[in-house]
Structure 1
Amino acid sequence: MRIITLHSNSLVVEPKTKAMKDAEEISKKKQSFGESLVVFTAVEERDEAAPDAVAANAIESIKKIAGEVKTKTIVLYPYVHLTSTPSSAAIARKVLKLMEDGLKKEGFVADHAPFGWYKEFTINVKGHPLAELSREITAIPGVAKAEDVISGALKEEEKVKSEWFILEPSGRLTPADKFDFKKHPNLQKFYRYEVSKVRGVTSEPPHVKLMRSLELADFEPGSDPGNLRFYPKGRLIKSLLEQWVTNKVIKYGAMEVETPIMYDYEHPALKNYLNRFPARQYIVRSAKKDFFLRFSACFGQFLMNSSMTISYKNLPLKMYELTKYSFRLEKAGELVGLRRLRAFTMPDMHTLCADIEQAKKEFVNQFKLCMECMSELGYDTSDYETAIRFTEDFWNNNKEWLTGLVKLVKKPVLIERWNYRYAYFDPKFEFNVIDAMDKASALSTVQIDHENAERYGVQYTDADNKRKYPLILHCSPSGATERILYSLLETAWLKSKEGANAMLPLWLSPTQVRLCPMNDSLIPDCKKIADELAASCIRVDIDDRTESIQKKIRDAEMEWVPFIIVYGEKEKKSGKLAVRFRENGKVEQLSTKQLVELIQKQTTGFPFKPLPLSMFLSKRPSFV
């Protein structure tokens, strides 16, 4: 955008004839303005990628100039002749409207000259040094700034009044600031984190160093912040997590679908939903239209639901997608390693329910599903903190039911009670892990949606042949796969500080068994053993490098390999393997068959993928 600002004593504008078919309809033939800042404005083609951001930046620039010349009256004058690459008329009108509305909200008296007309104008410009200025306004191509495109729900979230309590399995509700946290230190950390609302960090969390040293993931300098690269080992873990959670949800009864990653920003249902979801979006431009990148599977699934024929007999109806990817334009200062990203993989299930009673029953079932997922990731209820959030009205009508959820986790939970419903959901819960920085991050979550069925036109036919809007449950049973990996790394680091050896769950360990031959002549024997293990769905590799046994063992320990086997002449003769257990540091003599049975017992029911790198360490490149 290009603008020229003229601090004027007077301006008279008289429209003569329409310059375009879709010119603005006007009621006055002549406009007269007294002292004002007249802003001649040309919206450019490059602004079409992020019109909201351009308008917001223009407002800031105009505010600054108006402050310097001490005026509170602004007149926007569309003047396409300032540029050789004008935007479409529709975008120009949109940007000018955003600017005028935004200036009014800032306390200015704002108006505009008619759009799409040939006009005669007379202007009397003041003669001081700041009376005539020009500015070039830009936005990041393809991306609206986080502070510029903010949903109505985010704004409401800042205004809603929250009360904080601790709810115990007995049903006792205590104001959080009166609760005795002596036996629940992590719950206290969680409460403090939630109340403070400080999401940024002042130092690097442990998992960031670990994700690099273990060659799992890293920052990508060639992309937008919060978009990571994953190395083969990290991709293996992500892939296993994706397959695991997808299997869980399909077994639970959900239908797996696939939907687009971008949607029309001006679609009425979608735009309305954006204003009810507390998140910031990436905006992209295609064929002179604005599209936003999805931050969940909601959009595609709800649009699909709206075109389906659904009977009450089909309810509860579950639909699932593993979104590759979801995008949220998080604030730059809040981006932290794997914990908070701008691009992530989200398992997302939605369930249509006939009424609140069916929704509550399904909510409990999905609460249990989430507990099961946390358990399979290696967490028991002592390892995470639960938050349940709802309105005062929901609490008054569902106290016993809410207490029943607390009884399932068998320990006190944090309650956030709102004075009104600021977004579409009521209630919602999350399971949160507390990391080494005392920051909380939600993994599993379920919420009851009261608005989107009607917003998207999702209906079902009831037993009386009447069309009704269902309630919708949103559920991510495990949370984003990147955040799972973050939580596993942070938890392992914390346990290492308590004296335990840091480990990943066996089924997620990139290398489950490492063979360390005492000399090169034993490599063929190790290869035979490795082939036997690999045939039994075990990820095994061989350290065939010309290094000492001590270094081979040390390197395997640095990689968190669960089972390390030093193989020498003794093992060759006996047929027994000296297996070093990382979990407890013990060494046991096992046959190959016994080792296979041991590993299979611990990994039964979990997905398997083969080794993502060469079996021989000497043939592997270094990624970090």
Structure 2
Amino acid sequence: MIKISFPDGAVREFAPGITAMEIAKSISEGLARRILAASVNGEVWDLSRPIYQDAQLKLLAWDDKDGKSTFWHSSAHLMAEAIESMFPGVKFWVGPPVDNGFYYDIDLGDKHITEEDLRQLEVKMAELARQNNPFIRKEVPKVEAVSYFFEKGDEYKLDLLKNLEDGAITFYTQGGFTDLCRGPHIPHTGFIKAIKLTNIAGAYWKGDEKNKMLTRVYGVTFPSQKELDEYLQMLEEARKRDHRKLGKELGIFTFDDDVGPGLPLWLPNGGIVIEELEKLAKDTEEEAGYHRVVTPHIAKESMYLTSGHLPYYQDSMYPPMELEGVKYYLKAMNCPHHHKIFAAEPKSYKDLPFRLAEYGTCYRYEQSGELFGLMRVRCLHMNDAHIYCTREQFADEFRAVNDMYLKYFKIFGIDKYVMRLSLHDPAKLGQKYINEPELWLETEAMVRSVLIESGIPFVEVPDEGAFYGPKIDVQIWSAIGREFTLATNQVDFAQGRRFKLEFTNQENKAETPLIIHRAPLGTHERFIGFLLEHYAGKFPTWLAPKQVKVLPISDKFMDYANEVKKQLKAAGVRVEVDDRNEKIGKKIRDTELQRVPYMLVVGEKEMNEGKVAVRRQGKGDAGVVAVTDFVAQITKEIADRSSGE
């Protein structure tokens, strides 16, 4: 008998050769109807694959990331079957699952897929799905696999086979379609109930522009039509909230070819948003005992060799410039500069924890194909800080950083978040990670302990740590459910020694501090991109570039409108008067489109009584109040950084 351990800690015995599907049926028929794949000792398997040894088993449904990925991988095969039926002779490269669906790269020869073809392919896929064809796994000798694809004249699969070892090659067949694939797959096509092919694009074979351009067909599938409808509705809302579209409409940022790709220019409205975010960070960090510093945008090569960044990150750094025989690099990270500031003056244990903060400008050479609006850029303004502390202080300092995240989440209305605890891979010590196995285990345990004690939701992810220690990546979700990576909180047990950082401890001996790298607001670029989509451009009043627009009903009331503006401006409110010769209805509509939080309509009655008719963005009439009362209300809302709801 073999022992199967379940996620809840239960252990049951089964005969060797049992499948995950049979185990699921032994638990309940309902469970067996829902599961898509199984995680066996951390590896995702087909449900029909026999298990011969003791194993940790997790049954994967649609709600599991690996279950969803398996579902979409199988959907790519279903799409390929439909494509082959409509375009005989088509050749296939790769068809992986992605974050939101799947794609397949194909060679159609001299043929082309049109939007109308996509609709016909959806119909064909639905027809094939209803046949409930099982996904059948077959281990194939390499010579047989080569012969199969040679007869089909498929040079793409033959190329894949060149790098595969004999004895590790598998085919999967469903219905009339067979593909070279390592799997895993869902039990049968009948699980796929709703289908949408979303896009056609070009993709160079192997991503090399010297190679042939293939056709990439994207799609997404769901276990029910309701879930597909909800997804398509979310996509439509996401299009409306696209930060690139809103950024242009609201005058937040722009790009210019003469400046260069990935290098955003912040327009006046964007400058105001940046200023308010920096003010928030500075207020928060001052209260938390941080020292603010400023560092240069370039540094000598020797500093990045000392830090160890150059060997690990050189591909993401701009090429060096050479002056007087010395190489200089554009700053790609702030930490080495901060370490030099720490070392500039002697420190004792009484100076620790020593916290340095900077909205530092960094430059990273992202590949052209990876640039995306504000989300992937080459110039970043980072809410960076480094905390130098003793081991005894570490837990409190790390917890305080996480508390700062939670404070920001509340301010920005971020309700869904999770911390990803990124760990090292012991097999890559000395290559991807600093070769300090004991320190890795110690610091990972320290971080894990703080997260558990704080009750913060987190997941552990192997092989994604920083090269100098474990880290937390903060995943947040916008108001419409889109996931973003916001920021990071990292532990560093290596840089202190590399830079010979020391403090005098209570025994009057030199000791190396632990270092925490943190950036709760990430970069201006990514965070403002997130906020544009999160708020749909309707920033809360404290953050809005224009907070109030005064709308006189006619020119007769212009003087009074300017008097209202004067009072608001004196109170520190960002305010404008709409002095255009337009009807009040158009002024209101235009101001709504500009997403200004408050409109103050003024006419004869308001002028005579010293009042304003208040309208709230997206909510309409909010009543008539005295100007002094409105000033008191809005200044409190701004000072509190509240949503104004």
TM-score category, normalised to shorter length: 0.5 to 0.7
- The correspondence for 1:524, drawn from 559, 582, 605, is 559
Letter paired with 2:461: E
**Structure 2 counterpart SS, 1:506:** coil
1:581 to partner: Cα distance: 1.0
Query: What's the Cα RMSD here?
Result: 3.8
Residue type of the partner of 2:448?
L
| Offset at residue 401 of structure 1 (A) | 6.3
Matched, 1:601 2:641: no
Task: Give the 3-state SS of the residue equivalent to 1:226 in structure 2.
Answer: coil
- Provide the rounded CA distance (Å) in 2 between the counterparts of 1:409 and 1:220: 45
Residue 580 (1) aligns with residue 623 (2): no
Taking structure 1 as reference, are residues 293 and 594 closer, same or farther at Cα in structure 2, changes over 3 Å only?
A: same
Structure-2 change in CA distance of 1:463 and 1:403 (3 Å): closer
Structure 2 unaligned blocks of 5 or more = 1-40, 45-55, 73-96, 103-206, 208-215, 219-237, 426-437
Identity among equivalent pairs (%): 25
Please name the residue that 1:352 is paired with: 388
> What's 1:534 paired with?
569
Following superposition of structure 1 onto structure 2, how do residues 170-209 of structure 1 map, counting pairs within 5 Å? 178=60, 181=63, 193=99, 206-209=242-245
Contact 1:315–1:352 (CA under 8 A) maintained in structure 2: yes
Shift of 1:342: 0.6
Q: Distance in 1 between matches of 2:58 and 2:634?
A: 44
Query: Is the 1:186–1:434 Cα contact (8 Å) retained in structure 2?
Result: no
Between the aligned partners of 1:492 and 1:271, the Cα distance in structure 2 is: 39
State whether structure 2 residue 271 is matched by structure 1 residue 243: no
**Mapping 1:27-42, distance limit 5 Å:** none
Q: Residue 264 of structure 1 contacts residue 289 of structure 1 at CA under 8 Å; is this kept in 2?
A: yes
Partner of 2:352: 315
SS of match in other structure, 2:243: helix
Provide closer, same or farther for how the CA distance between residues 405 and 381 of structure 1 changes in structure 2, counting only shifts above 3 A: farther
Alpha-carbon distance, 1:574 to partner = 3.4
- Secondary structure, aligned partner of 1:299: helix
Work out which of the residue numbers 306, 309, 326 in structure 1 matches 2:343: 306
Separation (CA, whole Å) in 1 of partners of 2:475 and 2:375: 14
Measure the CA separation in 1 of the matches of 2:63 and 2:581. 54
1:379 to 413, 438, 446: 413
Q: Give the drift of 1:264.
A: 1.0
Corresponding position of 2:476: 432
Alignment of 1:429-578 (within 5 A): 429-433=473-477, 438=482, 440-493=483-536, 502-578=537-613
Residue 458 of structure 1 aligns with an amino acid whose one-letter code is L
Partner of 2:423: 390
Residue 39 of structure 1 is matched in structure 2 by: none
Letter in 1 for 2:380: F
Structure 2 vs 1, CA of residues 472 and 182 (structure 1 numbering), >3 Å: closer, same or farther?
Answer: closer
| TM-score, L = length of structure 1 | 0.60
- The answer on whether the counterparts of 1:265 and 1:291 sit within 8 Å (CA) in structure 2 is yes
CA distance in 2, matches of 1:556, 1:475: 38
Query: 1-side partners of 2:402 and 2:323: how far apart?
Result: 40
Structure with the bigger RCO (C-alpha within 8 Å, sep 6+) is 1
Paired letter, 1:552: K
- SS of 2:620 mapped into structure 1: coil
**Residues 400 and 426 of structure 1, relative CA distance in 2, 3 Å threshold:** closer
* Equivalent-residue separation in structure 1 for 2:494 and 2:633 (angstroms): 50
Describe the SS at the equivalent of 2:423.
Answer: strand
Match of 2:153 in 1: none
**Post-superposition CA distance 1:524-573 (Å, at most 9, x none):** 01001110111111111100011221221111011111111221122223
What SS does the aligned partner of 2:308 have? Answer: helix
**Hey, what's the Cα distance between the residues in 2 that align with 1:194 and 1:553?**
39
Distance (Å, rounded) in 1 between the aligned partners of 2:376 and 2:330: 17
More displaced 10-residue stretch of structure 1: 303-312 or 389-398: 389-398
- Tell me the SS of whatever aligns to 2:316: coil
What residue identity is the alignment partner of 2:622?
A: V
Change (3 A) 1:539 1:422: closer
Q: Report the equivalent of 2:130.
A: none
1:95-124 Cα distance to aligned partner (Å, 9 max, x none): xxxxxxxxxxxxxxxxxxxxxxxxxxxxxx
Cα deviation per residue 1:170-214 (whole Å; 9 max; x = unaligned)?
xxxx9998477389x99999x974999xxx999988110110110
Letter in 1 for 2:254: D
* Paired position in structure 1 for 2:405: 370
Secondary structure of the residue aligned to 1:511 is: coil
Q: Distance in 2 between matches of 1:526 and 1:164?
A: 68
SS of residue in 2 equivalent to 1:373:
helix
Deviations 1:237-277 (CA, angstroms, capped at 9, x unpaired) = 11121222122112211111122111112447446232345
Residues paired across the two proteins, number: 418
The 1:537–1:279 alpha-carbon spacing in structure 2 relative to 1, beyond 3 Å, is farther
Residue 414 of structure 1 aligns with an amino acid whose one-letter code is V
1:402 pairs with 2:439: no
Conserved? CA contact 1:206–1:436, under 8 Å: no
Q: Paired residue for 1:295, among 332, 335, 347?
A: 332
The answer on whether the counterparts of 2:307 and 2:498 sit within 8 Å (CA) in structure 1 is no
Question: What's the CA shift for 1:425?
Answer: 2.0
Give me the whole-angstrom Cα distance separating, in 1, the residues matched to 2:619 and 2:405: 29
- Which position in structure 2 is the counterpart of 1:415? 460
Cα distance in 1 for residues equivalent to 2:492 and 2:472: 9
1:272 aligns with 2:308: yes
TM-score under structure 2 normalisation?
A: 0.58
| 1:119-168 CA-partner distances (Å, limit 9, x unpaired) | xxxxxxxxxxxxxxxxxxxxxxxxxxxxxxxxxxxxxxxxxxx9799xxx
- Partners of 1:403 and 1:178 in 2: CA distance: 28
Q: Is the 8 A contact 2:349 2:506 kept in 1?
A: yes
Residues 1:217 and 2:99 aligned together: no
Retained in 2: the 8 A contact 1:433–1:443?
no
Change (3 A) 1:286 1:547: farther
Closer/same/farther in 2, CA of residues 558 and 424 from structure 1, 3 Å limit: same
Give the SS at the match of 2:401: helix
Pairing 1:78-157 to 2, within 5 Å after superposition: none
Distance 1:187 1:553 in 2: 47
Contact 2:443 2:469 (8 Å CA) reproduced:
no
- The separation in 2 between residues aligned to 1:535 and 1:186, in whole angstroms, is 56
